[in-house]
Amino acid sequence: MVSSTLNNPTQIPADAVKVRFLDLRVLDADYRAEIHEAVERVLLHGRFIMGPEHDAFEDAIADFCQTPFAVGVGSGSDALYLSLRTLDLQPGDEVITTPLTWVATTNAIVLAGGTPVYADVADDYNIDADTIEDRITPKTRAILLVHFTGQMCDMDKIMAIATKHGIDVIEDSAQAFGATYNGKPAGSLGTMGCFSMNPMKIMNAFGEAGAVTVGDEARRDRLQSLRYAGTINKENCVTPSINGRLDTIQAAMLLVNLKHLPAKIEARRTFASIYTSELSGIVGTPPLHNDRDHIYYSYTINADDRDGLMAHLRADGIETKIQHPILMPDHDAYKGRFDADIPGARKLIERIVCIPCHEHMTEDEAAHVIASIKAFYGA
């Protein structure tokens, strides 16, 4: 059962909070001034949608992700939906995906006219590449994987399967901007990469925003049409679609945040390594792979008596979160609609919890989290 109180950090009385799960306020005055300056520039030129900062943002994302093109869109959900629309899925077409993610992933498949087929999840919380090939049928069109928690999937294996069967790979990289696999950035290995830049994400806007990375120019053109009502030359609609464009103001602020990203990732890695050295053997710390760099969108542990631990941490003023407490096929919208033989995911969903790990926390706060976890397990 999912308990909404368990997953709601606001349940801790404000005066008792000692360690926040995330802190999105912009408290640094210099940084705030950079943001104000970026907004000011957009207010003065007045091109609020797809203005010059929007184009510069697309170039910067393509550059960062080492892909030929990037397409700015309104959100990560738009990125996923519009990417899947480029596949022209026909009724019955299948997309293999993970059951452990935010629901936007499965929603996009269904909204684009496809049928989700669930592979299982491995101990590193990502799609288990060894359970993908079994699920391939003549109807399989793509693999929509998620680089969950900020560490990339087993890309060599997944790309080999996709190549062998002639299907596309879409990387839901919403949690993995800046993560790499053998030095290659998330979003650069599949047919397309989908990014969310909502405020919770490590590469964040101050509102909704997203992007798609893409290597093929014709597909880039298709995405540009699909993000604006399915039009070409801004007027003639060639296929019905949504308005999924990105605001210039968000793009301008994102360009500022891109400069600050390396320091943010570094801070998260520092706290993550403190947690891992202090907590391994007490809880399951995030399994790491030598060929991948984790950006720690979340620091997700695998814990005995997870609910008891969350209650204990809450009493100690520490906010935690389960990301995400409902597996895809168990959402009310999808219950009973799609088969899912996913024992690995079913086991993990009872055990995972994210503990605070972000650039605004202090070493004392991390020490408090560690001490509280050790006390709970009598370590």
Chain positions 5 to 64 lying near ligand PLP, rule: CB under 6 A, are none
Nearer to ligand PLP, 77 or 300 (CB): 77
Are 226 and 240 in contact by the 8 Å Cβ rule? The answer is no
Stretch that binds ligand PLP, among 73-81, 280-288, 335-343, 359-367 (CB under 6 A): 73-81
Nearer to ligand PLP, 206 or 377 (CB): 206
φ/ψ region of 327 (left if φ > 0, alpha if ψ in -120 to 50, else beta) reads beta
Strand partners, 278: none
- Residue 76 in the binding site for ligand PLP (CB under 6 A): yes
Tell me the C-alpha to C-alpha distance, in Å, between residue 359 and each of 105, 266, 300: 27, 8, 16
Nearer to ligand PLP, 191 or 372 (CB): 191
What minimum distance in Å lies between the beta carbon of 159 and ligand PLP? 19
What minimum distance in Å lies between the beta carbon of 287 and ligand PLP? 18
Nearer to ligand PLP, 50 or 354 (CB): 354
Nearer to ligand PLP, 195 or 376 (CB): 195
Nearer to ligand PLP, 298 or 372 (CB): 298
What minimum distance in Å lies between the beta carbon of 189 and ligand PLP? 16
Strand partners, 193: 171, 213
Q: What is the largest CA-CA distance in the chain?
A: 67
Nearer to ligand PLP, 17 or 200 (CB): 200
Chain positions 209 to 228 lying near ligand PLP, rule: CB under 6 A, are 210
Of 21, 81, 102, 118, the one binding ligand PLP by CB under 6 A: 102
Nearer to ligand PLP, 128 or 365 (CB): 128
Chain positions 143 to 202 lying near ligand PLP, rule: CB under 6 A, are 146, 172, 174-175, 196, 198
What minimum distance in Å lies between the beta carbon of 176 and ligand PLP? 9
What minimum distance in Å lies between the beta carbon of 180 and ligand PLP? 18
What minimum distance in Å lies between the beta carbon of 126 and ligand PLP? 11
What minimum distance in Å lies between the beta carbon of 359 and ligand PLP? 18
Number of chain positions touching ligand PLP (CB under 6 A): 15
Of 42, 73, 104, 279, the one binding ligand PLP by CB under 6 A: 104
What minimum distance in Å lies between the beta carbon of 107 and ligand PLP? 9
Contacts of 320 (CB under 8 A, 6+ apart): 9, 21, 310, 313, 314, 353, 354, 355, 356
Chain positions 276 to 335 lying near ligand PLP, rule: CB under 6 A, are none
Counted residue by residue, the chain has a size of: 379
Rounded CA-CA distance 257/86 in Å is 29
Binding site for ligand PLP (CB under 6 A): 75-77, 101-102, 104-105, 146, 172, 174-175, 196, 198, 208, 210
